Amino acid sequence: MKFSVSPVVHVAVQWKVTSEFPNLLKDLQDDFMGEADIIKSDPVVFFRENVLEKSSRTVMSKSPNKHNRLYMEARPLEEGLPEAIDDGRIGPRVLKIKRLKENNQNVEKTIGEG
């Protein structure tokens, strides 16, 4: 499956001495852009929504080939989950390792019972 994603991390820069801003842009243009013309725009603010409570309905979406159906409902993130992702305690690799360990434990229990 292909997913379209946008960058999550953006850095805003603010000058302590605003009179230095034109000089900095000129230096960047001269040193790194071969004196190419630049267009300055207004700052861009990204809006991210948040879910405060479980949704009251389940929605369905079909895959592009119409063979798979996805049923979804919105729920708030668990307490501390965003911080754990930022800290690297939770992620795709960490979750995969955790699942493998759990599966191994389940297999060992089944073998021990048999």
Please state the pTM of the whole predicted model: 0.35
Rounded Cα distance, 94 and 108, in Å: 21
Give the pLDDT confidence score for residue 42 in this predicted structure. 72
Closest CA to 100 of 82, 54, 92, 2: 92
Rounded Cα distance, 100 and 102, in Å: 5
Look at residue 72 and give its three-state secondary structure: strand
- Per the CB < 8 A criterion, the answer to whether 74 and 97 are in contact is no
pLDDT (tens place) for every residue of the chain, 114 residues total? 555 555 555 566 666 777 777 777 777 777 777 767 777 667 666 666 778 899 999 999 999 999 999 999 998 888 888 788 778 777 777 767 777 777 777 766 667 665
